Amino acid sequence: DPKIIQKPKYLVAVTGSEKILICEQYLGHNAMYWYRQSAKKPLEFMFSYSYQKLMDNQTASSRFQPQSSKKNHLDLQITALKPDDSATYFCASSQEEWGGEYFGPGTRLTVL
């Protein structure tokens, strides 16, 4: 059974719209993260949460808002979508705020 679930797997959106990317982890971890990976670029850290509290935000735009309704959930709301937002968005988790992270399968977002 998958330990980190991301929904949807693929997402196509139009410019200016709003989407929510879902992430749930069943590893019992206390820290969760969002990363973005565009074609031919390194993984880019976006947010980190620990015990449902925002610990770090490396995303310059307020259009990206993480939402944590439960300790094992960390969704990502993206508003006013732009074509440059097209990327694969990975959710990850770790036991605490250090150590290696376990990644979900990703949501591939395409903004037209």
The contact set with other proteins (CB under 8 A) reads 41-45, 48, 55-56, 58, 90, 97-106
Which one, of 91, 84, 93, 100, lies nearest residue 43 by Cα?
Answer: 91
Paired sense of beta strands 31-37 and 87-94, if any = antiparallel
Torsion of CA 76, 77, 79, 84, to 10 degrees: 20
Query: Cβ closer to other proteins: 65 or 103?
Result: 103
Query: Cβ closer to other proteins: 48 or 72?
Result: 48
Strand partners, 108: 10, 88
Least distance to other proteins, CB of residue 32, Å = 13
Least distance to other proteins, CB of residue 96, Å = 10
Least distance to other proteins, CB of residue 104, Å = 6
Least distance to other proteins, CB of residue 25, Å = 13
Query: Cβ closer to other proteins: 18 or 96?
Result: 96
Query: Cβ closer to other proteins: 3 or 82?
Result: 3
CB burial of residue 22 (10 Å; 0-12, 13-18, 19+): middle
d(CA 23, CA 70): 11
